[in-house]
A and B are shown apart, each in its own frame.
Chain A
Amino acid sequence: MIKYFIRRTLLTIPTMFLCITIIFFCLRVVPGDPALIMLGENATPEAVEGLHKAMGLDKPIWEQYLTFLNDTLQGDFGKSIYSEKSVSKQLIEAFPHTFNLALMSIFIACIIGIPLGIVSARKHNTLFDDGLRVVSLIVLAAPAFLVGIFLLIVFSVQIPLFPSMGVGNGFFEKIYYLILPSITIGTGIAAALIRFMSSSMIEEINKDYIRTVRAKGIPEKLVFYKHALRNSLIPVVTVIGLNMTGLLSGAVIIEMIFSRPGLGSLALDAIFARDFPVVQGSLILFMLIVIIVNLLVDLSYSLLNPRIRQS
């Protein structure tokens, strides 16, 4: 099993290298010059020149790329062009908020998605199942920012139950502030989970080993919740993993609506301000999160499925 993992991690290195290069060159090609933006209305040409030298943008592309590469490998993402604050500090500050949001959303998605998926599988082909399917489709199809603003208006303005902005400090307050945004994202993923859970559950129920279990006289509840559920959980874990990437990029808009700091809004502002070091830093961190999540999914995959654990 460990050999399997080493191979998987080694495979990610070329991917990461490819991503870093794409990020670097894509940014250099994007129109808009950070010095101009910073100087705003009265940016005199020599001031622009001075800033370029300060930012090291005057050096040839290849040199910039090489310095960028060996900095990144040593984990130093450089300093923000504007505030000269070190990028890694900004990332460390922004990362926990996105991480909490992602985790809480997945948590809510599982709490809603998995049980409803099971129920929909048990009550297959009934009215309830069809109803659930349509509802989950509506939630899946509705754009996240509409759902978000809807929750905000109802649960924050009309019924002043939840705060509409900020992150709060202290463990419980953070959760309290997380509820609305994570429900917005969570329901979307839950909808996908329901559909996936239900179809994978149905597939398991019709497998041969279920007939053996029933022939052993095991009560229907156990047949369903012990045997069928266990095997149908495996593909669901991959769905969560896949949704993770979508979630991180979707979080950008949710962080905007709920005025939450985080990796998404950091990257977004940096792109608009052409703050290359910050963009590079946050996208690389994005990438690391996704790769780690995929590894975690593989880990839980083998945890659940003994056959892979042995191979």
Chain B
Amino acid sequence: MMKRIFIYLLTLLFIVAGCSDTTSSDGNKNPKKNEAPKEKVLKVAVDSNPAVFDPYKLSTNSELVISQPIYNTLLRFKTSSIDIEDIEGGLAEDWETSKDGLTWTFKLRKGVQWHHGYGEFTSADVKYSIERVMDPELGSTSRENFKQVDKIETPDSYTVIIHLKQPDPAFLQSICGPAIVKKEAIEDNEKSGEIRPIGTGPFMFEEFKQNEKAVLVKNKDYFLGEPKLEKVEIHFMTDLTAIEIALKNGEIHMGPGLYEPAWLEQMSKNKDLTLDVSENGVFWGLYLNTSVDIYKNMNLRKAIAHAIDIKKYVKSRRLTAVEPKSVINSAVRGAYDAHYQYDLKKAKKYLKEAGYPNGVKLPEMTIPNLASFKGGAEFIQEELRKVGIELPLKSVDMASWVELVYSNQNPSTTVGLAAFGEAVVPFRSMFYGPSSMGQPTAIYNLTHFHEADRLIEQAETEIDRQKLDDLYKQIVEKIHDAYVVIPYVEGRSPLIRSNKVDLGYDFKSTMIYMYYITEKTDLK
């Protein structure tokens, strides 16, 4: 008998040891359900795990959501707007540009404090931040936008003057990009190996638990006023169904939605949840890689372009999709009208002229195994099947897909891109010859289209509005006539929030696939 009791005791002991997690660092040990009810904790769900915490190397949406409330930028878009007209002062109170567009002078706010006592915000921080973005060693994702910067002057601690080599129409929106960081904080973190991003924003970084959550706590002396929320918890939940359940239970206040209209309809019926759709659409297109022999044939590209019934697909997606207007995001300034008319007879005619009277089997297209990619790709595959064009699909995980695309081995690619502000930025990365994949200066030109290179180079340094718009028109026309990209939808990402949440601004669109969290955001 003794033996059996001993074994039971042993297992019980294990459980006690296992559960009383020695590493749990958070304060309250008493097992109350959650913190004192009055303490306002906003709980946000994101469907990916953050890997990088350096604001200049952000890639997944969870990283964007965590950094947004922590950092400020020199200038910024009015909350939830992506219209260049709405750009206002951020850490810089005011700014002017010289007539030739080469010198930009910024007047900085005074008395702004860094988190955790890293001192007052000064012009030196701005200089360090911008030079860090431009540093090739770091490999920042937005280094490309600052290639025109010549030198940065800091005459006194509250003024910054940036000199450009050449005028850059997109520089205003570029300045709204990078977060201003503190040199000493970054060095301390590197030494300690700890994850502790330091910024000037409304919320300070408190804790990060891998695969679980990140916790931000309010920055009492934030220069735009003390935030209403006590804490913000960002939960990493890779399964959308789990997020949906948590939203219905009230365990989570905000989360991403699903692109499926039937699902959204069902959720909108739920009386204590509000459904929003971000106006800035993600531009989804089928990019044909003209460095691959079969796609050098213009007629084949034409046949493909006219075989896809975009209206039907957009209709089936109802409120989460709009018809693409141009060859790039419609919210971009310079996205002039350009679309391919759905006409099966024309498609069959071009197919015959392309030399494939009884159909063709296209080379295999690899896509990542994400729902957002799969839906569109399967739709295109099905549409092409009707005209006898067979497009075999292969689904792999994200990392393998990225490598395939970068090494220019994917004969055709469907991908969704967000873009805003000046059209020259997407043109530069997507339709400029030297940016073609597989080359040393590659950025994201999947189609190896290069017919508009001269025009793009002119647009890059044209600050006269009239001339710039005229250049944009010509570029769009060239891309459209080349039939290299076939847009099929502009997806608008749905977001869901509990009615208890008061955003503090009216929601229009978002660049981080989640609601912005500001000092005005509150929990009723």
Contact = CB atoms under 8 A, between A and B. Distances in A.
A188 B400 CA distance: 34
Nearest to B53: A83
A82 B246 contact: no
A94 interface: yes
Interface in B435-477: 440-444
Contact of A47 (B4, B139, B193): B139
Which range holds the interface residue count of chain B?
Answer: 35 or more
Interface stretch (A64-72, A193-201, A205-213, A257-265): A257-265
Interface string A149-173: 1001100110010011111011111
Contacts of B358: none
Given A32-B402, A40-B141, A152-B245, A169 B24 contact: yes
* A contact patch SS: helix
A149 B242 CA distance: 9
Contact of B212 (A106, A167, A304): A167
A31 B59 contact: no
Interface stretch (A97-105, A127-135, A243-251): A97-105
A32 B242 contact: no
B24 A256 contact: no
A36 B239 CA distance: 25
B424 to A, nearest CB: 15
Contact of B3 (A80, A110, A266, A303): A303
Interface in A1-44: 30-34, 36-44
B429 interface: yes
B144 A42 contact: yes
B442 A38 contact: no
B189 to A, nearest CB: 9
Contact of B141 (A39, A153, A304): A39
Contacts of B23: 92-93, 96
Interface residues of A, number: 78
Given A261-B212, A262-B211, A266-B210, A153 B245 contact: yes
Contacts of B246: 164-165, 259
Interface string B403-439: 1101000000000010000000000010000000000
Nearest to A80: B51
A154 to B, nearest CB: 11
Nearest to A173: B31
B442 A171 contact: no
A47 to B, nearest CB: 3
Contacts of A37: 59, 398-399, 402
B395 interface: no
Contacts of B16: 171
A166 B399 contact: no
Interface string B22-33: 111010111101
Interface in B127-183: 136-144
Nearest to B189: A84
A178 B15 CA distance: 12
Contacts of A258: 242
Nearest to A259: B237
B136 A47 contact: yes
Interface stretch (A116-124, A136-144, A269-277, A283-291): A269-277
Contacts of B248: 157
A31 B403 contact: yes
B24 A83 contact: no
A80 B208 CA distance: 15
Interface string A165-196: 11101111111001000000000000000000
A277 to B, nearest CB: 12
Given A42-B143, A107-B15, 19 more contacts: A30-B400, A47-B139, A84-B190, A86-B193, A90-B210, A100-B15, A103-B18, A110-B11, A163-B249, A164-B251, A165-B245, A166-B213, A257-B242, A259-B237, A260-B212, A265-B211, A266-B211, A273-B51, A303-B3
Interface of A: 30-34, 36-48, 50-51, 79-80, 82-86, 90, 92-94, 96-97, 99-100, 103-104, 106-107, 110, 149, 152-153, 156-157, 160, 163-167, 169-175, 178, 230, 255-262, 265-266, 269, 272-275, 300, 303-304
5 contacts: A42-B144, A100-B21, A164-B249, A262-B211, A272-B397
The 10 closest A-B pairs by CB, nearest first: A47-B139, A32-B399, A261-B211, A82-B51, A170-B31, A40-B59, A261-B212, A259-B237, A172-B31, A31-B400
